[in-house]
Amino acid sequence: MTGSDPLRLYRTVRLIRRFEERAIELVRAGQIVGGIHPYLGQEGIAAGVCAALDREDLVTGTHRGHGHVLAKGADPARMLAELCGRVTGLNRGRGGSMHAADFGVGVLGANAIVGAAGAILTGAVWERRRRGADIVGVTFFGDGAVNEGMLLEAFNLAALWRVPVLFVCENNGYATTMPVEGAVAGTIAGRAAAFGMPAVAVDGQDPEAVREVTAAAVARMRAGGGPELVEARTYRFDAHHTFEHQVRLDYRPPEEVAEGRSRDPVDIAGARLDPAVRAEVDAAVEAELDAAVEYALAGPHPDPATALDHLYASGLTARTGGG
Amino acid sequence: MPRLSYRRALTRALADEMARDESVVVLGEDIRVAAANVTTGLLKKFGPERVRDTPLSEQAFTSFATGAALAGARPVVEFQIPSLLFLVFEQIVNHAHKFPLMTGGQCAVPVTYVVPGSGSRTGWAGQHSDHPYALFAHVGVTTVVPATPADAYGLLVSAIRCDDPVVVFAPAGALDLRADVTDLTPVPLGRGIVRRPGADVTVVAVGHLVHDALAVAEELAGQASVEVFDPRTLYPFDWDGLFESVSRTGRLVVVDDGNRSCGIAGEIIATVVERVRLAAPPRRVTRPDGAVLPFAPALDRAVQPGRDQLTAAIQLTLKDG
Ligand SMILES: Cc1ncc(C[n+]2csc(CCOP(=O)(O)OP(=O)(O)O)c2C)c(N)n1
Ligand SMILES: [Mg+2]
């Protein structure tokens, strides 16, 4: 699945864009409790990367993870139901925005601990391959994560044991309010080089460019190559988290935000389609999301008596906390 | 009387100690813009040398604080989420806590770790909702859980002045509290307080649960006289203060937002029954064993100690024995 497919790429970025906008509305309406980290502006990365993967390939996402889950093929309706905490959600309402997972399509989960998922993904890919599956894996992380020791330790393990993992850094210029220049000594690509991993930078606003570099890296990895790193340069269009919609934090100059928002992956991908086709896609996405919202809000809330279900896979029952 | 919010009490404590003592520095993520609304105004007042935004390198900056403390600083490290304490447990326990003894008394490690927003923040789910204060009590690191704005101020000041590492848990369930505060003074570490006097049963409540215990005590006022004891510091614990209370009431219930096995409630009950003959078996209300907070709000609430559970535990204790 490595060929160019502008229609599919546009559909995915548009789906993620509108999914996030709908999710923000549901946060405002009180249907999504705890808020979300919107992926707005970064859709081209998940769309481009996942277009170069097979269903069996594995991915892990981040706290800003809706795009990864959707692009890998999870059902938007069940994803939205998860964000609304319903039993019909991907994680039966137990995970929410930051833990959404769909093992059926190779998503081992968004992860709320920055830098923590890379090593998990590396181990999972290693074991699947040991069992004979010809798969690769992708772990997404932000520019903030490149300063976490555990991620750098994962670089070392993957490189040392030649586990075919694509480390995809979504460099949106900030870790919450901390600019990359204030946090990263050396460079992101330089970290890969230190472990003997090839690294390439790509325009994260262009899903086709992201797809191309991913497809090339995946081809090398499927042919026996070790891990690689892609630094996708991007910009977060909205808040770090929706709490910022209430509390303005002053850290990005307005001109910079305007400049960042001027390169919109939805427009970049959309411009490659015939306008009539684009309009059809938009309408289809809207219809799918109308249905998704309806499905999500119709789902039952979980019964508090089941709060500890799934705590132990062994069947162990936990003592409850009452007197 | 000035109304003081819990968050501002923490801010005031930091500002006062920084003004009083040049060796106090603050480290953490997004503290310059005060994303957690605790370090507000500090950058402007004290400058970037003493108010340092860190990269996302928690293990390194926690031990960086240890090193700075060895060289004379009194660092305060802010963590955005409680589970980051799992990430830096090694750095706190194996280094900051152990250095004084291991070096034969050649050093002190006066670092304060602050978590504004410990416990559930409703909707932050499994990896952001822990309340691991008992872990620190277990390893013997000074651990405080202020319940009120005045204590948030007074305990943070004492933590910063303490020559040992201190973890300050500021429960999410208490952060939005406001109170009339007449005088801001240090609160001694290791000293509990009777929040409501009573004669029939002592309820020990930790952190934000102090307010639930007070509400339950008020509801039960017609039936029973409930004493509410707020330990404030979990390690070292004010055993004498608690023995005094329980010796009078003869009954004990503990409400604790930690996990049940090896939790602080278990320690409190064990220590009391070693020393005081109770009129009825003690009871505790806690999170379940192995608790992971599920995302959906009703499930998140179901896993935390509730007022109805506390009421039931008090009533059972009063009926027993
Ligand atoms: C280990 C860890 N440290 C801190 C946090 C709190 N936190 C959540 S997201 C975030 C910023 C992450 O920045 P980056 O990796 O660049 O991703 P972005 O948010 O920009 O997508 C921080 C500090 C966390 N969840 N985990
Ligand atoms: Mg970032």
Residue B132 has pLDDT above 90, yes or no: yes
Nearest to A323 among B59, B83, B312 (CB): B312
Share of chain B above pLDDT 70, in %: 100
Which ligand lies nearest the alpha carbon of A63? 1
User: B311 pLDDT exceeds 80?
Assistant: yes
Domains defined along chain A, listed by start: 6-306 (3.40.50.970)
Q: What's this model's pTM, rounded to 2 decimal places?
A: 0.96
A186–B contact, CB cutoff 8 A:
no
Name chain B contacts of A141, Cβ cutoff 8 Å: none
Which chain A residue is nearest to residue B281, measuring alpha carbons? A323
Q: Is residue A299 within 8 angstroms of chain B, CB to CB?
A: no
Select B193-319's CATH number: 3.40.50.920, 2.40.50.140, 3.40.640.10, 2.40.110.10.
3.40.50.920
A98 touches chain B (CB under 8 A): yes
Q: Which atom of ligand 1 is nearest to the CA of B128?
A: 25
The A residues from 140 to 179 touching B (CB cutoff 8 Å) are 144-145, 147-149, 175-178
Tens-digit pLDDT profile for residues B56-93:
999 999 999 999 999 999 999 999 999 999 999 999 99
Q: If you measure from the C-alpha of residue A38 to the centroid of ligand 1, how many angstroms do you get, rounded to a whole number?
A: 13
pLDDT tens for each residue of B217-269: 999 999 999 999 999 999 999 999 999 999 999 999 999 999 999 999 999 99
Is B299 in CB contact (< 8 Å) with chain A?
yes
For residue A116, which atom of ligand 1 is closest to its CA? 1
Span A35-86, pLDDT tens digits: 999 999 999 999 999 999 999 999 999 999 999 999 999 999 999 999 999 9
Mutate: best of B83, B299, B311, partner A, most A CBs <10 A = B299
Cβ B303–A307 below 8 Å, yes or no? yes
ipTM exceeding 0.90, yes/no: yes
Query: Among this protein's residues, is B128 annotated catalytic?
Result: yes
Chain A residues with CB inside 8 Å of B29's CB? 175-176, 178
d(CA B87, CA B83): 7
CATH number of B3-180: 3.40.50.970
Q: What is the mean pLDDT of chain A?
A: 97
Residues of chain A with C-beta less than 8 angstroms from the C-beta of B305: 321
A49 vs A24, A107, A120, CA distance in Å? 24, 13, 19
> Does B294 contact chain A (CB < 8 Å)?
yes
Report, as an integer, the average pLDDT of A272-279: 98
Which protein residue has the closest C-alpha to ligand 1 atom 8? A114
Domain ranges of chain B: 3-180, 193-319
Among chain A residues, CA nearest to B301: A304
B3-180 matches B193-319 in fold: yes
Across B198-217, average pLDDT: 98
